[in-house]
Amino acid sequence: MADAAAGRSYEYIAITDHSKGLKIAGGIDEHELEKQGAEIGKLNTVLQKSGRKLAVLRSVEMNLSRRGEGAMSPESLSALDLVLGSFHSSLADS
């Protein structure tokens, strides 16, 4: 994805896996999010050293409950560049 984005002269891309709680999408949990963030950090270092002007943002599409509560711990979100909050299947519940 980073190569394709760089080839299009993008300056930023975001990796936005679904958060836990959305099982149909194989949601990522806090531990997996931390691991992914470390991998993205390494990739950004490689991109910078190679002279590419692309930054990969650490992010997540976080499932929200009916009450607007997020499916991830606030601590895990603090290390991210972007959090997309989305209502999914919980709105269909009666």
**40-54 average pLDDT score:** 94
* Cβ-contact 47, 2 below 8 angstroms: yes
**C-alpha–C-alpha distance, residues 66 and 87, integer Å:** 8
pLDDT at 10: 95
* Cβ-contact 43, 2 below 8 angstroms: yes
User: How many domains does the chain divide into?
Assistant: 1
Nearest by Cα to 14 from 69, 75, 81, 92: 81
**17-43 average pLDDT score:** 87
**73-89 average pLDDT score:** 89
**24-33 average pLDDT score:** 84
Structural domain that includes position 50? 2-92
* Cβ-contact 32, 41 below 8 angstroms: no
Say which range, 5-14, 20-29, 74-83, has the weakest mean pLDDT. 20-29
Angle at CA of residue 63, ends 59 and 64, nearest 5°: 120
pLDDT at 93: 52
- Residue 94: pLDDT band (50, 70, 90) is very low
**63-67 average pLDDT score:** 84
* Cβ-contact 32, 15 below 8 angstroms: no
